[in-house]
Structure 1
Amino acid sequence: MKQVICMRHDLKMRRGKQIAQGAHASMAFLCDKLREKGSVSLDDFSEVEQIWLSEAFAKVCCRIDSEEELLAIHDQAVEAGLAVHLITDIGRTEFHGQPTRTCLAIGPDLAEKIDKITGHLQLL
Structure 2
Amino acid sequence: MYKQVIVVNKSLNMSPGKLGAMVAHGATSFFCEWFKRNVVTSNETYNDYLINPNARVDKELFAQWISGSFTKIVLEVEDDAAMKAIIEKAHEYGMVNRQDFFNIVDESTEFLDIPQWAVIAFKPMEAEKIDPITGELNLYGYEEKMSMEWEN
Residue 24 of structure 2 corresponds to residue 11 of structure 1: no
What TM-score do the two structures reach when normalised by structure 2?
0.73
Equivalent of 1:110 in 108, 126, 130: 126
Letter in 2 for 1:107: K
Deviations 1:9-57 (A, max 9, x none): 111010111111011011110011111111378x621123212111100
Using the aligned pairs only, state the percent identity.
32
Which residue of 1 is the match for residue 80 of structure 2? 67
The number of residue pairs the alignment matches comes to: 122
Q: What do you get for the CA RMSD once the two structures are aligned?
A: 1.8
**Does structure 1 residue 49 correspond to structure 2 residue 65?**
no
- Structure 1: how far apart are the matches of 2:15 and 2:118? 12
Letter in 2 for 1:45: V
Residue ranges of structure 2 left out of the alignment (5+ in a row): 40-50, 141-152
Runs of 4+ in 1 over 6 A off after TM superposition: none
TM-score normalised by structure 1 residue count = 0.88
Pairing partner for 2:103 from 86, 90, 93? 86
Indicate conservation of the 8 Å contact 1:5/1:61, yes or no: yes
Q: Evaluate the alpha carbon distance shift between residue 111 and residue 40 of structure 1 in structure 2; reply closer, same or farther with a 3 A threshold.
A: farther
Residues 60-94 of structure 1: per-residue CA shift (max 9 Å, x gap): 000111111112112222332341111011116x3
Q: Which is greater in Rg?
A: 2
Are the equivalent residues in 2 in contact too, given 1:9–1:63 (CA < 8 A)? yes
1:121 corresponds in structure 2 to 137
Which AA in structure 2 matches 1:113?
Answer: K
Query: Which amino acid in structure 1 is aligned with residue 120 of structure 2?
Result: L
| CA shift in 2, pair 1:14/1:34, >3 Å | same
Q: Matched residue of 1:10: which SS?
A: helix
